[in-house]
């Protein structure tokens, strides 16, 4: 099949989950014998066409007035002229349902293509979540959880739950004790947060929780390690200074071998206030489970649906609840929970998710042939 993957992001930052999941999915689809092309957003003063990991990636120029609305369709027209291919599938990814309209307009230049739109999360923009009507324009919609599916006013046959992928070849269990020794964290209980620092990620709540936990003498060996995806950390550092907890915290902005840090951590803490702009199956959570590292997160319905028996869940935006769950993760025997998580995360393997999408593609093409 000739498959186009489109996204409203620029896919510029290799640390971003959108970059990782899109590129990795493209590579898996390519490995399984399909021709893959990616169309994404323009980066000023950068080439409009590049190759990433052997995947052609088009970044079309924006056109005045019509802007994003037709930039992707026109990129498809250009791609077809250059490659002389007939496109079978146009698969778009976004948090906002509005982007499904862009996918539909791509058929102006690929009339026989079948369209599929994946809602990776809920949009941070309230207006973005009001575009559900545009989902009716595409042939199939996928979401990461049943709860998300229930919130969409679509016929059951039009929507499917397909999990967000995890790179289980990269994130695997390692010798935690040896890694901790290698990185000079022996004798410390390492509590790790990694990812973006958006307000809804709950990092401020976690920092306030550090102040509560470290007031206890028995918690003096706690070490809170932050690996932020973006370098703008001044508000967090200021709060840490105000709370006088500098000696318990560490921010690392350098590029690191992230799977090693996830492995030697005693617990990964993801204190989400909500999942706006965050995948329904958060990649950090999946990666920690894959490394057999304990996870503390928050009691959100989408997370409860899949991870209630393999993570400890605090109440969102609740310092005392989060502190209790972190202490529990470090003082109780959580091996059964950790093993449950390792088994559950196998269903999120990017190779399996690629096969799930291929099945949907084939069904769409078959149904079109029979109709």
How many angstroms separate the most distant Cα atoms in the chain? 71
Q: What is the per-residue pLDDT across 257-269, written as a single tens digit (0 to 9) for each?
A: 999 999 999 999 9
pTM of the model: 0.91
Verify that 254 and 279 share a domain, yes or no: yes
In whole angstroms, how far apart are CA 139 and each of 13, 77, 364, 366?
30, 20, 8, 13
Least confident of 54-63, 113-122, 181-190, 207-216: 54-63
What are the E-state strand segments in the chain?
2-7, 35-39, 49-52, 55-58, 89-94, 114-119, 140-143, 159-161, 189-195, 222-228, 249-251, 267-269, 294-298, 312-314
Greater confidence, 61 or 96? 96
What integer is the mean pLDDT of 280-294?
96
Please say whether the beta carbons of 265 and 225 come within 8 A: yes
Alpha-carbon distance of 75 to 109, in angstroms, equals 10
Q: Is 84 within a domain?
A: yes
What integer is the mean pLDDT of 309-326?
97
Overall residue count recorded for the chain in this entry: 371
Q: What is the per-residue pLDDT across 120-151, written as a single tens digit (0 to 9) for each?
A: 988 877 666 667 889 999 999 999 999 999 98
Hey, what's the torsion of the CAs at 242, 244, 248, 253, to 10 degrees? 30
DSSP 173-226: ---HHHHHHHTT-TTSEEEEEEE---GGGTHHHHHHHHHHHTTSGGGTTEEEEE
pLDDT of residue 371: 46
CATH label of the domain that carries residue 35: 3.40.50.2000
Band (pLDDT 50/70/90 cuts) for residue 335 is: very high
Please say whether the beta carbons of 192 and 267 come within 8 A: yes
Alpha-carbon distance of 93 to 97, in angstroms, equals 9
Please determine, for residue 172, whether its predicted confidence score (pLDDT) is greater than 90.
yes
Q: Is 185 within a domain?
A: yes
Verify that 355 and 333 share a domain, yes or no: no
Verify that 73 and 204 share a domain, yes or no: no
Q: Is 329 within a domain?
A: yes
Quote the number of domains for the chain. 2
User: Which residues lie closer than 8 Å to 294 by C-beta, 6 or more apart?
Assistant: 266, 267, 268, 288, 312, 329, 334, 337, 338
How many other C-beta atoms are found inside a 10 Å radius of the C-beta of residue 205? 20
Verify that 285 and 338 share a domain, yes or no: yes
pLDDT of residue 297: 98
Q: Is 170 within a domain?
A: no
Q: Is 169 within a domain?
A: no
Domain that holds residue 325: 176-347
Verify that 262 and 278 share a domain, yes or no: yes
């Amino acid at each position: 099949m000739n498959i186009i993957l489109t996204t409203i992001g620029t896919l510029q930052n290799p640390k971003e989950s959108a970059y990782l999941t899109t590129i990795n999915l493209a590579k898996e689809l390519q490995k399984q014998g399909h021709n893959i092309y990616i169309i994404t957003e323009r980066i000023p003063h950068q080439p409009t066409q590049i190759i990433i990991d052997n995947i052609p990636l088009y970044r079309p120029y924006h056109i005045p007035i019509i802007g994003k609305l037709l930039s992707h369709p026109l990129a498809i027209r250009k791609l077809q002229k250059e490659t002389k291919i007939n496109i079978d599938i146009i698969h778009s990814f976004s948090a906002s349902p509005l982007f499904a309209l862009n996918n539909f307009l791509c058929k102006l230049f690929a009339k026989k293509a079948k369209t599929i739109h994946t809602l990776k999360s809920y949009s941070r923009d309230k207006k973005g979540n009001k575009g559900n009507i545009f989902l009716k324009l595409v042939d199939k919609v996928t979401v990461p959880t049943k709860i998300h599916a229930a919130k969409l006013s679509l016929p059951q046959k039009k929507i499917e739950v397909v999990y967000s992928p995890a790179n289980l070849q990269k994130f695997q269990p390692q010798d935690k004790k040896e890694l901790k020794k290698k990185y000079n964290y022996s004798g410390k209980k390492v509590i790790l947060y990694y990812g973006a620092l958006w307000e809804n990620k709950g990092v401020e709540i976690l920092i306030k929780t550090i102040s509560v936990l470290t007031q206890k003498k028995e918690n003096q060996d706690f070490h809170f390690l932050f690996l932020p995806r973006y370098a703008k950390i001044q508000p967090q550092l200021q709060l840490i200074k105000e709370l006088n907890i500098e000696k318990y915290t560490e921010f690392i902005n350098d590029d690191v071998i992230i799977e090693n840090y996830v492995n030697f951590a005693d617990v990964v803490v993801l204190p989400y206030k909500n999942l706006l702009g965050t995948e329904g199956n958060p990649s950090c959570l999946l990666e920690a489970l894959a490394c057999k590292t304990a996870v503390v997160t928050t009691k959100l319905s989408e997370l409860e649906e899949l991870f209630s028996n393999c993570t400890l869940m605090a109440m969102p935006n609740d310092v005392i609840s989060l502190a209790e769950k972190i202490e529990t993760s470090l003082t109780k025997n959580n091996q059964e929970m950790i093993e449950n998580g390792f088994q559950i995360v196998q269903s999120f393997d990017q190779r399996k998710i690629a096969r799930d999408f291929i099945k949907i593609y084939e069904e769409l093409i078959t149904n079109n042939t029979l109709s």
